[in-house]
Amino acid sequence: MNAYRLLCRLRLVLAISSAVVLGLLTWNLVQSRAYDPLEATRLEQMQLRLAANPKDEALRNELRALDRQVRERHFHHRRVALRGLALLAVLASLLVALHAGAETLRPRAFTPEPDAASLLAESRARAARGAYLLALALAGILVVLATIGRHDPLAQYARAGMRPEAPGTPDRAPITPDEPIGQATLPPADPTVLGPPPLVGSLPVSPPATRLEPVAPPPAGARNPSTPERPSPGQRSLPSLEPCPPAGLEAEWPRFRGPAGNGVATATPPLPGRGLKVLWKVALPLPGWNSPIVVKGRVLLAMADPSRREVAAFDAKSGDALWRTPIAYKEPPPKVSQDTGYAPSTMASDGQRAYAIFPDGLLAGLDLNGGVLWTRSFGPLENQYGHASSLLCHGENVIVQLDQGSDPEERKSRLLCVEGATGKTVWQAERAVSASWATPVLVRVGGRELLVAIAPPLICAYDPRSGEEVWRVSGLGGEPAPCPTFDQHRVYAGNLGSYLFAIDPSGTGDLTRTGVLWDTSDYLPDIVSPLAFRDSVFLIGPDGTLACLRATDGTLAWEHRIGPTKASPTAVGDSVWLITDSGRLLAIVPGSAYRELGAMELGEVVRASPAFVGDRVYVRGQDHLFCLGP
């Protein structure tokens, strides 16, 4: 038998084998249709019956058994299909290879082409007609598209939207914009304070808070950098912003991201890798991703697991455990994601007391010796990952951001000011926003204190003494966890899935059109708060890319990949300190290019932002609390 015949026979065997596998796969496919969980009608009927009679335990158990059976069979068929497909792919590959080999060896008889040149000439004469037919077909398609576009209601709206003034009713639109959109449920705006009146068609934006004066709805525009209404950076004089740390705690670390909450430290530790070493390290008894705070020589932390809530204090000099206080609670453990944990919120202190909040809405006030002064429960909170906003103090009061829910119109969200000594509410502002994981920040603008809080769809500034809304910028989206921050002239807020806004906070009312200096949708952080320092804004994206934007216009100065990071950056002296998830602590120069000054490894997972006091750095790792210093 020659090689050609052998290959032909092998090819036949493979073809038959492939056909058999093909048949079995088809049979398996037909069978699997009967066990599709999405189309299991019996299962669906049982679910309806159970919904009608939820206490029928027998039916519930029967439903679970059937659900399991359907899923097991479905995935069994799926496994068979995948293995069969792999086998079929192998057989098909062999078949193709054998066929190619057989074709190569196939004896060919030489038969000269009758007249290749004349055939080509004839074919080419017809090819020109074919090309024109193609052009005709394309013209036909374009005519159809043009006809569709001509009668598209969108074109009417677009023409209306293109007018520089407020769009009126389109000429002959089947849908009139006035009709559905003009349902203005909002109070009329004061044009002298709030800028131009709302355009027809603005979305209804609910009045912001119980104590607030009516604020105009967000007008159009202002988010796109090319929007003509936006003032260019050089056209306006920017206000001077000042931090508002708690009195007497300017050199301490009384809240998340330092005394002013903007990630700027007054400490002077040696640089990592250049004299910074581990002074002490203590094991933490319970988990928690919150950051340490340092007040009056104590390092305070919140810790929790599904069954315990605790606050612990360590001696800042020696690391000795000073006290551990369990916080009593009644609520069942909330549903939280692994990244959130049961103690994600950083504590806050006013120098006399310390405050902690947990994802179930349990707020506790303690004295600095570990005694529980009061507790309040705001839970359960509707939050898909678990409440994680941290606390801050204003005078002797505690500010609590309790944004929750998925629909801003449900008005479940609140911003509270609680008396530190008693836990009683001083003021409360209802917020028409959905859930947020960010922490507010306090900033002084022209002698006026502002409390800036963010949650979709708003960036709002409140008077921290009364809870009255001062200004707002709408357009925030996504799931904000990065905190707002500020530098000498601007407030910055934004997160992944939305934009980063640079805002001039000196105005009042709706600043969506007039107050946004620039925005960007690049390099946005998912978890990590931005740092505004020395005319730069540092962002760390979810992929671990550190980006440095120019504060003046938001353009990129440089970027560098540092690896996955959850801890927020801190400005220490002339450098910016970062710590990655793997525990690599590094300091960089806030200059025109990425340059490391030094680095060291802690050898432990770190997600909390470090605290900087004096010449020491306090870092909370996954299992240990570290104190670094000279």
Partner 1 sequence: MRKSAWVLVGIAATLSAQGQEQKRQPPPDFTSGYQLPSPTTPVPKDALFAWIDVGVLLVALVLAAWIVLCRRSRAWLLVLTGFCAAYFGFYRLGCVCSVGSLQNVALALADPSYRLSVSVAAFFLLPLLFALFYGRVFCSGVCPLGAVQELVLIRPIRIPEWVAGPLGLVPFLYLGLAVLYASAGAGFVVCRYDPFIGLYRLGSSPLMAWVTGLFLAASLFVGRPYCRFLCPYGALLRVASWFASKPARIAPAACISCHLCARECPYGAILPPSPERELVPMHELRSSLARRLGATVPLILLLAALGWFAGPAMARVHPKVALAAELALSRAQPDAPKSLAVEAHLRLGRSDEEVWREAATILKSFRLGAALFGAWAGLVVSAYTISLALRRRRREYVAEPGTCLACARCFASCPVLPQGDRP
142 binds partner 1 (CB under 8 A): yes
Query: In this complex, which beta carbon is closest to partner 1, that of residue 319 or of residue 564?
Result: 564
Note if the bond before 246 is cis, omega within 30 degrees: no
Query: In this complex, which beta carbon is closest to partner 1, that of residue 385 or of residue 594?
Result: 385
Residues 258-297 that bind partner 1 (CB under 8 A): none
> Measured from the CB of residue 55, what is the shortest distance to partner 1 in angstroms?
13
Query: In this complex, which beta carbon is closest to partner 1, that of residue 160 or of residue 578?
Result: 160
172 binds partner 1 (CB under 8 A): no
Interface stretch with partner 1, choices 21-29, 395-403, 610-618, 621-629 (CB under 8 A): 21-29
Pick from 195, 218, 259, 292: which binds partner 1 (CB under 8 A)? 218
Residue matched to tokens 């769009």 = 167
157 binds partner 1 (CB under 8 A): yes
Pick from 196, 423, 564, 573: which binds partner 1 (CB under 8 A)? 564
Residues 424-430: contacts with CB within 8 Å, 24+ apart?
A: 426/397, 427/211, 427/466, 427/467, 428/210, 428/467, 429/208, 429/209, 429/210, 429/211, 429/212, 429/462, 429/467, 429/468, 429/469, 430/208, 430/209, 430/210
In this structure, what token pair is assigned to residue 445? 């603008």
> Measured from the CB of residue 141, what is the shortest distance to partner 1 in angstroms?
8
Residues 412-471 that bind partner 1 (CB under 8 A): 434, 456-458
* Exposed / middle / buried, residue 79 (Cβ in 10 Å: 0-12, 13-18, 19+): exposed
Residue 11 in contact with residue 102, Cβ under 8 Å? Answer: yes
Pick from 3, 90, 154, 593: which binds partner 1 (CB under 8 A)? 154
Pick from 7, 46, 160, 539: which binds partner 1 (CB under 8 A)? 160
Residues 530-549 that bind partner 1 (CB under 8 A): 542-544
> Measured from the CB of residue 600, what is the shortest distance to partner 1 in angstroms?
22
DSSP state of 464: T
Interface stretch with partner 1, choices 109-117, 443-451, 568-576, 605-613 (CB under 8 A): 109-117
Pick from 150, 235, 307, 447: which binds partner 1 (CB under 8 A)? 150
Residue 315 in contact with residue 322, Cβ under 8 Å? Answer: yes
DSSP state of 186: S
18 binds partner 1 (CB under 8 A): yes
Instruction: Provide the 3-class DSSP secondary structure of residue 159.
Output: helix
507 binds partner 1 (CB under 8 A): no
The count of residues in the chain is 630
228 binds partner 1 (CB under 8 A): no
CA proximity to 573, closest of 601, 515, 533, 627? 533
Interface stretch with partner 1, choices 14-22, 233-241, 351-359, 613-621 (CB under 8 A): 14-22
Residue 630 in contact with residue 615, Cβ under 8 Å? Answer: yes
CA proximity to 538, closest of 262, 169, 191? 262
- How many chain residues touch partner 1 (CB under 8 A)? 111
Any idea what the Cα angle at residue 253 is, between residues 495 and 538, rounded to 5°? 30
> Measured from the CB of residue 387, what is the shortest distance to partner 1 in angstroms?
15
Query: In this complex, which beta carbon is closest to partner 1, that of residue 152 or of residue 367?
Result: 152
161 binds partner 1 (CB under 8 A): yes
> Measured from the CB of residue 146, what is the shortest distance to partner 1 in angstroms?
4
> Measured from the CB of residue 502, what is the shortest distance to partner 1 in angstroms?
17
Residues 320-359 that bind partner 1 (CB under 8 A): 335, 337-339
Query: In this complex, which beta carbon is closest to partner 1, that of residue 466 or of residue 545?
Result: 545
What is the per-residue binding string for partner 1 in 29-58, x denoting contact by CB under 8 A? x--x----xx--------------------
Query: In this complex, which beta carbon is closest to partner 1, that of residue 575 or of residue 580?
Result: 580
Euclidean distance between CA atoms 356 and 387, whole angstroms: 13
128 binds partner 1 (CB under 8 A): yes
DSSP state of 114: S
Rg (CA), the chain: 33
474 binds partner 1 (CB under 8 A): yes
131 binds partner 1 (CB under 8 A): yes
Residues 358-397 that bind partner 1 (CB under 8 A): 385
Query: In this complex, which beta carbon is closest to partner 1, that of residue 315 or of residue 522?
Result: 522
Separation of CA 330 from chain center: 31
> Measured from the CB of residue 500, what is the shortest distance to partner 1 in angstroms?
15
In this structure, what token pair is assigned to residue 618? 């306090």
> Measured from the CB of residue 121, what is the shortest distance to partner 1 in angstroms?
5
Pick from 10, 92, 279, 589: which binds partner 1 (CB under 8 A)? 92
27 binds partner 1 (CB under 8 A): no
Q: How far is CA 102 from CA 93, 109, 577, in A?
A: 14, 16, 68
> Measured from the CB of residue 383, what is the shortest distance to partner 1 in angstroms?
13
242 binds partner 1 (CB under 8 A): no
> Measured from the CB of residue 47, what is the shortest distance to partner 1 in angstroms?
8
Euclidean distance between CA atoms 342 and 378, whole angstroms: 15
Pick from 344, 408, 507, 509: which binds partner 1 (CB under 8 A)? 408
Residue 579 in contact with residue 620, Cβ under 8 Å? Answer: no
Pick from 26, 61, 69, 422: which binds partner 1 (CB under 8 A)? 26
> Measured from the CB of residue 142, what is the shortest distance to partner 1 in angstroms?
4
Note if the bond before 380 is cis, omega within 30 degrees: yes
Query: In this complex, which beta carbon is closest to partner 1, that of residue 158 or of residue 193?
Result: 158
61 binds partner 1 (CB under 8 A): no
Q: How far is CA 105 from CA 2, 98, 228, 443, 448, in A?
A: 10, 11, 72, 84, 90
Amino acid at 359: P
> Measured from the CB of residue 138, what is the shortest distance to partner 1 in angstroms?
6
Q: How far is CA 371 from CA 249, 254, 293, 311, 328, in A?
A: 21, 18, 17, 10, 12
User: 246-262 burial string, b = 16+ CB within 10 Å, else e?
Assistant: beebeebbbbbbbbbbb
Query: In this complex, which beta carbon is closest to partner 1, that of residue 78 or of residue 595?
Result: 78
